[in-house]
Structure 1
Amino acid sequence: MSEFEPVLLTLPSLAPSLAVEILPFGLTFHRVFVQADGRTHDIVIGPEDPRGHITQKYTNTIIGRYANRIPVGAHQIERNGIKAEVVAKLNEGSRVSLHGGPVGFDSLPWTLLTPESPPTLFTEAELAHLPPLSAATSHGIFRLVSPDGDQGYPGTLTTEVLIALVPPAEQERKYVKPGDSAAGAEWDLGSILYVYRATVDKGVTPVNLTQHWGFNLEASLKGENTLSVKNHNITIKADRIVARDTDSLNTGNYIQVSDATEHLHEGQKIGDKYPKLGYDDYYMFAPRTVETPKRFPSSDFKPQLDLLGDLLNPSGTPRGIRPEPVVELSSDKSGLKLVFETNQDGAMFYSNAWANPAIGARKKIHGGSGIKDHGDGYVPGTAAFLEFHDTLAAFLDPANKDGNDTLLTSDEVYHNYVRCDVRFQQPAH
């Protein structure tokens, strides 16, 4: 299989409202199709041609080994008495190693696993919830092995990622077309789930993975002002943002959102208090009533371990041990809503403020030509990038020692998940 040949995931025929195209290159969400109100939407921005992701970087790709920015140079790391050194490589400005270094996980081909090459980081109990890989149409499991020393990171890191579509509850399982929903009713169209698992073969290494996906819930309408996300409603259940320096490196300090009200997102329009340079900030979620482990001892990785079953339950069913949602993004114009939950500590919210329409390509379904560097690419403010991961450069803060330090040792398993529930409410016409 070519790394640029999309892997199509679909829901069963009774619920054809949600589908995704995954590229093995960079484990990229190339398209996310939603059918509602008689329309087909692609709710993520990006190039038309799958190969466009080579240059149109960080658009719906995985990010690794380490999300966001850390200072270049050598860093001594230690977790539970295990020591190693990271030598972060420059790929932004003069001080910054961005998104894992010059050749991060976003630029590498991932392997789609098969019965002949089965997953090793998901247990028998977890895999029992899924159709066999030989018959899978609604999920895929992908693997990448990053060798010792890759981009300056110690240890061989093996990562496996499950991407699955979760059907809506039986009572919601229907195609949403004009006239289907009563005024005010909200329909569950299904959910997108990704689960990252990783292990390192020796010592200790930093790991902080995310999906760098950018959403626009109106662009497929191709009408006036539908490219901007400033009319989208957003809720982020956060109490702080990270204070960063001029190179966007973590200063170790936080700003309370109550003291910076442009960051108080409680369902208002993104454009209501839009900063001059747009949004590009890391939000720390307020404490939640349920916490899900982000790593666990490898001794617990036994056939009966099951951290997956609850995540695959349809929306509307009992939540079990899952934490409550932390982010909502919706459009009154399209009627679409995304509801996110995760076990990560926070999320970057980036409003595509540095987009340049002269370079890259805009999808045809979003009104572009699809031609690279044709001058009709995405303009600033055309996406809400929501990147769920742990705190920026957490392993460099002594306060996190042996705690939430984003370090992984050889006797642990990394466990990171994000679930996105897709919903629809008939818009007023």
Structure 2
Amino acid sequence: MGVTLHRLYIQADGKTHDILIGPETPSGHLVQKYTNTLIGRYANRVPAGTHTISRASNTASLTAASNESPTVSLHGGITGFDLQMFEPLPDLFSSKLFSQSEINTISARMPSGAACVFSRISEDGEEGYPGRLLVEVLVGLTQPSAPPTTSEDKKEWNLGSVLLVYRAKLLDDSAVTAVNLTQHWGFNLDASLQDGQSVKDHTLVIKADHTLELGPDANSSGLLAPVTGTHHAHVEKETRKIGEKFPENGYDEFYLFPRNIAPPTPVRISTGDLQPKTDFVLPALEDQQSLVELASPKSGLRLNFSSNQSGVQFYSNNFSQPDKTARKKIHGGSGEKGDGYEPGSAAFLEFHEPLAAWLHPETIGRTGSDTLLASGELYNSFVRMDVWYTSPEGL
């Protein structure tokens, strides 16, 4: 369910790492919520209640159900996309939302069997969201794109990449809905070493200049706050461990990338522009500016993320309840409920647009996206994760 990424194995220097936290068995994701699953129709938090939304002369009513608290609708509602069944298409050519050129690119750049498109139709009114919505998600693995690089004290290998592409289209005429999809995946690059659970020794770079101010209930206030001089300044020139300046309640913040970072592909395009020769997948696979970097000096693993989204939510697994969850055996757990992950045990990095963007003119002015989708438009979102390994011995 939910296009869930259960395991992500990395082979490095004779060691097998699973860099995703989570339960031991796939069925565990049914009760261990939001662990490496697709979330939607709308990622993150929306004020609970009824909202009037309008785009391209289309108007509709959206009623967001409360689930996290009386005033907050989290990750699409009570039964969001994480609990919905997505069907793997029998082949790439069965896709309705990827062009012929894009399918050719996927086939050429990803090894046989290393790419799949998952599909479902979200019916009109599901979890209060208007419009019948076709959703397709590409999950693909690519081979290493660069030879090892060597300096005096280390050698570095690119181990390949993970590409996620989210597409959506309304099937009704004169409709409008809110769409904001992402993967709620949580990383721990040291967990397979079975030497503690914390990610506080990981280093983190987020090329953001502002965070989104949140209200007391964690809904967006619509205002932006500079990161300079705060514990949110995860910038390259001040690369530091996550545990340095770690806030009392951990991290659960949305970071906005600078305006001068141009997205490689648009988030919303006219369906008429998706011609057989159109290819928005290829730019996602080509060299991109890294927006976020997560690394561990202990394991030697590093993840670099690129995306066409305007920001990223960083969550440090603050609300994890070890007594109610399970931990993978490869991470030193028993695999049984009651032996779960501790708070601070993962870095969740969720690339999407600002929370409830259509309600907040300041964020729309900053990103150009109201996160609404009208009939005749195609939603197009991607995130690419490049995996690197560094040998400090230079071997």
Return the TM-score normalized by structure 1.
0.86
Q: Which amino acid counterpart does residue 420 of structure 1 have in structure 2?
A: M
- Report percent identity of matched pairs: 48
Q: Counterparts of 2:219 and 2:98 in 1: how far apart (Å)? A: 34
Q: Counterparts of 1:104 and 1:117 in 2: how far apart (Å)? A: 27
Decide which of 290, 305, 319 is 1:340's aligned counterpart. Answer: 305
Q: Does 1:102 align with 2:102?
A: no
Decide which of 289, 292, 295 is 1:330's aligned counterpart. Answer: 295
Aligned to 2:240, the other structure's residue is in SS state strand
Aligned residue pairs total: 384
Contact 1:334–1:427 (Cα < 8 Å) also in 2: no
Q: Counterparts of 2:393 and 2:42 in 1: how far apart (Å)? A: 43
Q: Does 1:394 align with 2:363?
A: no
Decide which of 157, 160, 165 is 2:141's aligned counterpart. Answer: 165
Aligned to 1:263, the other structure's residue is in SS state coil
> Structure 1 residues 113, 339: CA separation in 2 closer, same or farther (over 3 Å shift)?
same
Decide which of 346, 361, 369 is 2:326's aligned counterpart. Answer: 361
1:346-371 C-alpha deviation (Å, 9 max, x unpaired): 01100011111111100000000001
Contact 1:333–1:427 (Cα < 8 Å) also in 2: no
Decide which of 248, 252, 277 is 1:304's aligned counterpart. Answer: 277
The match for 2:245 is 273
The match for 1:218 is 190
1:311-348 C-alpha deviation (Å, 9 max, x unpaired): 234xxxxx3xx4x1110000000000000000001011
C-alpha deviation, 1:420, in angstroms: 0.3
Decide which of 318, 343, 346 is 1:380's aligned counterpart. Answer: 343
Q: Which amino acid counterpart does residue 231 of structure 1 have in structure 2?
A: D
C-alpha deviation, 1:403, in angstroms: 4.2
Contact 2:213–2:221 (Cα < 8 Å) also in 1: yes
The match for 1:46 is 22
C-alpha deviation, 1:427, in angstroms: 3.9
Aligned to 1:120, the other structure's residue is in SS state coil
Aligned to 1:231, the other structure's residue is in SS state coil
Decide which of 113, 138, 161 is 1:137's aligned counterpart. Answer: 113
Q: Counterparts of 1:159 and 1:144 in 2: how far apart (Å)? A: 6
C-alpha deviation, 1:159, in angstroms: 0.6
Q: Which amino acid counterpart does residue 73 of structure 1 have in structure 2?
A: G
The match for 2:384 is 419
Q: Which amino acid counterpart does residue 163 of structure 1 have in structure 2?
A: V
> Structure 1 residues 98, 354: CA separation in 2 closer, same or farther (over 3 Å shift)?
same
Q: Counterparts of 1:114 and 1:172 in 2: how far apart (Å)? A: 36
Contact 2:148–2:155 (Cα < 8 Å) also in 1: no
Contact 1:193–1:420 (Cα < 8 Å) also in 2: yes
1:253-275 C-alpha deviation (Å, 9 max, x unpaired): 1211014x210112210001100
The match for 1:156 is 132
1:11-160 equivalences under 5 Å are: 25-115=1-91, 118-131=94-107, 136-160=112-136
Contact 1:28–1:62 (Cα < 8 Å) also in 2: yes
C-alpha deviation, 1:117, in angstroms: 7.7
Q: Which runs of 4+ in 1 moved over 6 A?
A: none
1:25-59 C-alpha deviation (Å, 9 max, x unpaired): 11011001000011000001000011110110000
C-alpha deviation, 1:201, in angstroms: 1.8
Q: Counterparts of 1:64 and 1:207 in 2: how far apart (Å)? A: 7
Q: Counterparts of 1:79 and 1:121 in 2: how far apart (Å)? A: 21
The match for 2:178 is 206
Superposition RMSD in Å: 2.1
> Structure 1 residues 265, 403: CA separation in 2 closer, same or farther (over 3 Å shift)?
closer
> Structure 1 residues 289, 244: CA separation in 2 closer, same or farther (over 3 Å shift)?
closer
Contact 1:341–1:418 (Cα < 8 Å) also in 2: yes
C-alpha deviation, 1:108, in angstroms: 1.0
Return the TM-score normalized by structure 2.
0.93
1:276-323 C-alpha deviation (Å, 9 max, x unpaired): 10111000111244322001011101101011123234xxxxx3xx4x
Q: Which runs of 5 or more residues in structure 2 are unaligned?
A: none
Q: Counterparts of 1:116 and 1:248 in 2: how far apart (Å)? A: 39
Q: Does 1:284 align with 2:260?
A: no
C-alpha deviation, 1:168, in angstroms: 1.1
Q: Which amino acid counterpart does residue 414 of structure 1 have in structure 2?
A: Y
The match for 2:208 is 238
Aligned to 2:94, the other structure's residue is in SS state coil
The match for 1:406 is 371
Q: Counterparts of 1:213 and 1:189 in 2: how far apart (Å)? A: 19
Q: Counterparts of 2:241 and 2:284 in 1: how far apart (Å)? A: 30
The match for 2:160 is 190
